[in-house]
Amino acid sequence: MTTALITGSTAGIGAAFARRLAADGHNLVLVARDTRRLREQATELHDRHGIEAEVVTADLATDDGIETVAARLADRRNPVDLLVNNAGFGNKGRYLDVSMADELMMLKVHCEAVLRLTSAATEAMRERGRGGVVNVASVAAFVPRGTYGASKAWVVQFTQGAAKDLAGSGVRLMALCPGFVRTEFHQRAGMGTDNIPGWMWLDADKLVAAALNDLARGKSVSIPDPRYKVMMGVVKVVPRGLLGGLSSRTGRKYGPQ
């Protein structure tokens, strides 16, 4: 039986990955900051699907947290076959409205943790000749959206580059770029969502199903919904200056995840 490790597993897209992978018969390593929620999630998934669910409490905004998860990924005796780097957050406010400490924390979680965990996982996977990594980015990666969009753009570029370098090794890497998803993401960041049209919201479980299909097909970037595929196609031909103006008026606080 294969094992999947999911960061940010207790809510939103991470929880949807956990539900789907458990239903498909994968053992899980669940990673988040809240031990109580992790244990409740592990018990529920074990009882419902008969899989083993390991709990790892770690804060990926800290070196100790990253090192704890990296060590688990590097464990050759209990290999991880699929890594889902999902942990992330948003900051409410535009550039210079957000504290430097919060901006640096975002880069720690969205970039440094993704780099270090992906590296720990793929090194072990390459030795076995198989494995997969899903790095959760955002469609915000394709438009100017301050630190959040820049960090997600880094995730996309890094994942594509690593996928190219590991081609032929049996290890697949994919950047997942969702739009607005009904999760706790916006509420935790204190972000309003009243101005987001209903048609722009995605279902987390359907998103995960599409993402796993894209990973199986060998895609290095997944935009898992036709609506957002069309929107990102338009983005490619809109002048960058106009995109920047639209992004500024919308505000960083509505960054999708």
Catalytic positions, please?
A: 148
Two tokens at 167?
């081609």
b/e code 51-84 from CB counts within 10 Å (16+ = b): bebebbbbbbbeeebbebbbebbeeeeebbbbbb
Helix (H) or strand (E) holding 87: none
Question: Alpha-carbon distance 54 to 35, whole Å?
Answer: 11
Instruction: Decide: 222 and 174 in contact? Cβ < 8 Å.
Output: yes
164 CB contacts (<8 Å, ≥6 apart)? 220
Query: Across-strand partners of 174?
Result: 134
